[in-house]
Structure 1
C-alpha cells in the first residue's frame, strides 16, 4: 500500500515540485461520470505499466557505466560505446517516463503561488493551461520530432561526436513516442482538472 503524502509536511525545497500522488490509479470519486472515470483509469494504468517497464532501462545504463569505469581504471581499456549507450538510455528513460511522471505529479513547477489557491481555481487554471498551451505545444513538438526522427532513419544518420558513431534513428524515434505518451496522459490530467474546477476537490 502506497502512503499518501501530506503537502503541508513537505520541505521548503519541495516548493518547486508538483503535488505528489500516492494513490493508485482507479480510486476515483463516486460522483465522477463513468466515461470520465474510465478514461482516467485506463490512461493512468497505461502510464503506470509503461513507467514500470521503462525503469528497467536503468539496468543497462548502470551496467554500461560500471563496466566503463572498471575497464578504464583497472585495465586501461576504455570503451567506445559506453558514453553513447549511457546518454541514449538516459534520454530514452527521460522521454518515455515523462508521461508516467506527469501521472504521479512529480514534474517540476513553481507551486509557491498555486498551492495557496482554492481547488476550483487550481482546476480552472490547470485545465485552461492544458488546453491553451500544453496540447498545442506538444502537438507541434511531436510533429517536428516525427520529421526529425524520420530524416535520421531515412539517411542512416550516425553520431559524429564519438568514435563509435552509433545510428541515431532509434534514439531520435523516442522523441515522438515520448510526446505521444505525454499527450495521452495530458487527457487524463485535463479531465482531473475539469472535475476539480467543477466539484472543488481533486479526484486523486
Structure 2
C-alpha cells in the first residue's frame, strides 16, 4: 500500500472516530429533547439550560459530522452522470471537485470564521438567555474546526482519487466459469 493511501486511511479513521462520537451526541440530544418536552407538557415547567444543551449538541453533530458524511459518501451529490461513469472517471471527478470546490470552500469558511470565533473567545461569550449555558464561544469554535476536519477529509478523498488514477491497469484475468472446473462430489451426487 502506498504511503499516500495509508495517510488517507488514517484520515478516514479520524473521521470514522468522530462519527461514532457524534452518534452518542445524537442519542444524548434525543434524550435531552425528550426531557424538555416531558418537563414542558408533563410538569408545566422547563429548563433553558436543557434547551441550550440540545442546541449545542445539534450544532456539534452537524458541524463535526460534515467530514464523516464526506468519508461515508453520504453527502449531497448530483450523480445523474457520476453513477454511470467508470471508476477512473469517478476518480477524476472526485479529484477535480475536491481541488476546485471543496478545499477552496473550506479555506473560505476557515478564514471567515476564525475572527468570529476569536471574538467570542475574547469575551467568553455565553447564552443570551437568562439561565442558559455558558460556552457559546465553544460552539462558535466548531465552525473553523468543522472547516479544518472537512478539509482533512477532502485531502483523504483526493489522495484516494489520486491513488486510483495512478494505478497501472493490470490485465484482467478471465473469470473461471462453471464449465472450466471439475464438478465437486456434491454436484455429482445431485446430478
TM (norm. structure 2) is 0.79
Q: How much has 1:42 moved relative to structure 2? A: 1.0
Asked if 1:193 is matched to 2:161, the reply is: yes
Residue 95 of structure 1 corresponds to which residue in structure 2?
63
**8 Å CA contact retained: 1:96, 1:178:** yes
> Unpaired segments of 5 or more residues in structure 2?
170-191
In structure 2, C-alpha distance between the alignment counterparts of 1:174 and 1:200, rounded to whole Å = 41
> Unpaired segments of 5 or more residues in structure 1?
1-31
Residue 87 of structure 2 corresponds to which residue in structure 1?
119
RMSD of the alignment, in Å?
Answer: 2.0
Residue 85 of structure 1 corresponds to which residue in structure 2?
53
**8 Å CA contact retained: 1:51, 1:97:** yes
Q: How much has 1:63 moved relative to structure 2? A: 2.2
- Where in structure 2 are the equivalents of 1:149-168 lying within 5 Å? 149-160=117-128, 162-167=129-134, 168=136
Name whichever structure is richer in helix by fraction: 2
TM (norm. structure 1) is 0.75
Q: How much has 1:60 moved relative to structure 2? A: 2.7
* Higher Rg of the two aligned structures: 2
Question: What do residues 66-110 of structure 1 show as CA deviations (whole Å, max 9, x unaligned)?
Answer: 111111111111222232221211110111121112111111211
Q: 1:163 to 1:113 in 2, by over 3 A?
A: farther
Asked if 1:65 is matched to 2:33, the reply is: yes
SS of the residue 2:46 aligns to: coil
Question: What do residues 135-190 of structure 1 show as CA deviations (whole Å, max 9, x unaligned)?
Answer: 11101211222211111111233343x44444420100111111111111111100
